Amino acid sequence: MLDQTDYTEDNIRSLDWKEHIRMRPGMYIGKLGDGSSADDGIYILLKEVLDNSIDEYVMGAGKTIEISIQGTKVIVRDYGRGIPLGKVVDVVSKMNTGGKYDSRAFKKSVGLNGVGTKAVNALSSYFRVESSRDGKSASAEFGQGTLKDQEFLEETTRRKGTKVSFIPDEAIFKNYKYRNEYVSKMLKNYVYLNPGLTIVFNGEKYYSENGLQDLLSENIKESDMVYPIIHLKGDDIEVALTHSKTQYSEEYHSFVNGQNTTQGGTHLAAYREAVVKTVREFYGKNYDASDVRKSIVTAIAIKVMEPVFESQTKTKLGSTDMGGDLPTVRTYINDFIKTYLDNFLHKNADTAEKIQRKILQAERERKELSGIRKLAKDRAKKASLHNKKLRDCRVHFGDIKNERNLESTLFITEGDSASGSITKSRDVNTQAVFSLKGKPLNCYGLSKKIVYENEEFNLLQAALNIEESMEDLRYNNIVIATDADVDGMHIRLLLITFFLQFFPEVIKEGHLYILQTPLFRVRNKKQTVYCYSEQERVNAIELLKPKPEITRFKGLGEISPDEFKHFIGGSIRLEPVMLDKEMSIEELLGFYMGKNTPTRQQFIINNLKVEIDLVAEKNEN
């Protein structure tokens, strides 16, 4: 029988701007999240406000931006021109309203859609904007996008500029918290892209003299560089590059008009092509592109007139033209690299020689691995990957047409019972499960050859689709889900070692997490409380008096699928795996997986609950 529900005029609804944003926040800020991931919505809200202040600096107005985050409240103050006082309410509450439609005021802005601060306003329980200019000020206060109060044209002695304060709405962002590590990385990128700009965050100053050269220095230790950073600058383009001695795959940082395009786009594709072409022509050799780019660590930033991005979150450039009288993005970047990189290599023979040696080394390694790689791929197919090891999901990272791509998650778990519970309770649209067979191999100090020879690593690499490039990563979130005991902790370290050794970009780019699951269930006839620590257990017993039932979960397999839905659904708790820049990857691996067995065993025993700042944990022990 067909559904006989009437379809009349009464079924037609018109949503106002704030209702639509609150109903479909993913269209405006990507995924929601709780702050455990760098691309969670609370950071996009901060970015949208900051972009306006950055655009002021780019236009020559205001050299300092002050940011305060205390708990859930965010304050951003710039010293730019200030919003025109008669338009303070409109620019934060009327869609498709803003100065950036007028290219005379904002020539190469990132925020062109007139949406950014409106989304922040609509998704905040508290939002206040203040503008000062010409000795006067105006302000407006909102709640969930609804105007609550406004003051207009008061005389003021405050310096010109704009101050925005907001509190993300807890009705939309559940149990969230800002992590200083993610905010810090965002702010560092802003100052690298805008030398001369000062950002002060909770009293800490961020400033860069050397632009993208400083960015690369932050991401790779000098001792791991094959040659000193090559830093090239031109009109509307800046490039920095080197090669790593130890890293296997390629690492790219790309930006358009100050926006970190984490998914690349037309500019990054053109840059990768231009580097290979220029290197081939310089050496007069038709080197394989993968050999030229292997182990490259590089950054590119361009400025484009009225850029077109493939989503509101602006993570992938779709523009093919630079704008104005300039050529296409591809031609512009290719011409720049051909001229500037070629000139540099001619003038710096020592660097040119080191690059060639690195390419020849990559060529030898590729040829040595070619036979093994073919066999490994055949084995992966014969193992019926998608049936035996991987229970896949319907959405894969990289599908920009699906607004849920940022939620795509792969749980890596050990044992049939644990993987079975997660498989039965997962969201099949966005969550996949990869089941390990026993403890993974300790791959510290081993070559990439082991990834192809070891069945578990080979199949995991194939599931993630990261053999050639991080651009093809199929899951935005990779979650290690192991028991909260000594064996589970050991498996976590072995898997982290695998990624650090062969695919450090997975960690550097914020894709790797540890799943937190409860240690105890405390319940009575009316209420159930899941506890993630001994202290939470004590608090729950106090709450549920008298004599509640207490269950100690010994492993993931003991948690029923119905209960597991709570822990991998809306209430999921993830701890990001982060790297401390003060220690190299080689030093980290040497400490955790090297020959200091007693120290490592004590570390595992003392740290069953993982808060993975690896170096901080090292120092604690």
| CA dist., res. 214 & res. 231, Å (int) | 10
| CA dist., res. 62 & res. 345, Å (int) | 38
Mean pLDDT, range 367-385, rounded to an integer: 71
Residue partners of 231: CB distance under 8 A and separation at least 6? 210, 211, 212, 213, 238, 239, 240
| CA dist., res. 274 & res. 330, Å (int) | 9
Strands (E), 463-523: 477-481, 512-516, 520-523
Question: pLDDT at residue 278 above 50?
Answer: yes
Instruction: Place 402 in a pLDDT band, splitting at 50, 70 and 90.
Output: low
Question: pLDDT at residue 106 above 80?
Answer: no
292-310 per-position pLDDT tens digit: 999 999 999 998 877 777 7
Least confident range from 11-25, 77-91, 393-407, 417-431: namely 393-407
Mean pLDDT, range 515-531, rounded to an integer: 89
Instruction: Place 109 in a pLDDT band, splitting at 50, 70 and 90.
Output: low
| Contact (CB, 8 A) for 41 and 25 | yes
pTM of the model: 0.81
Instruction: Place 401 in a pLDDT band, splitting at 50, 70 and 90.
Output: very low
CA distances from 284 to 1, 112, 159, 289 (A): 71, 43, 59, 14
Mean pLDDT, range 436-443, rounded to an integer: 85
Structural domain spans, the chain: 17-206, 212-367, 383-517+554-620, 520-552
65-92 per-position pLDDT tens digit: 999 999 999 999 999 999 998 888 888 8
- Predicted pLDDT at 617: 39
Question: pLDDT at residue 612 above 50?
Answer: no
H or E element in which residue 200 lies: strand 198-201
328-373 per-position pLDDT tens digit: 888 999 999 999 999 999 999 999 999 999 999 999 988 888 777 7
Top pLDDT among 382 and 485 is at: 485
The CATH code for residues 17-206 is 3.30.565.10
Mean pLDDT, range 476-486, rounded to an integer: 87
How long, in residues, is the chain?
Answer: 621
- Predicted pLDDT at 38: 87
| CA dist., res. 49 & res. 66, Å (int) | 12
% of the chain beyond a pLDDT of 70: 83
- Predicted pLDDT at 67: 97
CA-nearest of 449, 241, 452, 498 to 358 is: 241
Residue partners of 189: CB distance under 8 A and separation at least 6? 215, 253, 255, 260
| CA dist., res. 256 & res. 305, Å (int) | 10
Instruction: Place 104 in a pLDDT band, splitting at 50, 70 and 90.
Output: very low
| Contact (CB, 8 A) for 380 and 389 | no
Pairing of strands 512-516, 431-436: unpaired
Residue partners of 601: CB distance under 8 A and separation at least 6? none
When the pLDDT of each residue in the chain is averaged and rounded to a whole number, the result is: 83
First CA to last CA distance, the chain: 67
User: What fold characterizes domain 383-517+554-620?
Assistant: Rossmann fold (3.40.50)
Question: pLDDT at residue 323 above 70?
Answer: no
Hey, what are 97's tokens?
Answer: 């309203």
- Predicted pLDDT at 227: 97
Mean pLDDT, range 600-621, rounded to an integer: 43
H or E element in which residue 552 lies: strand 549-552
| CA dist., res. 479 & res. 391, Å (int) | 14
198-250 per-position pLDDT tens digit: 999 999 999 999 999 999 998 888 988 999 999 999 988 999 999 998 888 88
- Alpha helices per DSSP H over 392-482: 416-425, 449-453, 455-464
- Predicted pLDDT at 362: 92
Mean pLDDT, range 259-263, rounded to an integer: 83
Mean pLDDT, range 508-532, rounded to an integer: 88
552-581 per-position pLDDT tens digit: 887 787 788 888 888 888 778 888 888 766
Mean pLDDT, range 132-136, rounded to an integer: 90
CA-nearest of 432, 444, 567, 558 to 498 is: 444
- Predicted pLDDT at 6: 67
- Predicted pLDDT at 63: 93
- Predicted pLDDT at 345: 97
- Predicted pLDDT at 140: 94
Mean pLDDT, range 94-108, rounded to an integer: 50
Instruction: Place 599 in a pLDDT band, splitting at 50, 70 and 90.
Output: low
| CA dist., res. 126 & res. 165, Å (int) | 8
Directed axis angle between helix 597-606 and helix 486-502, to 10°? Answer: 120
H or E element in which residue 368 lies: helix 349-382
| CA dist., res. 619 & res. 615, Å (int) | 6
CATH class of 212-367: alpha beta
CA distances from 593 to 165, 447, 489, 496 (A): 46, 15, 13, 10
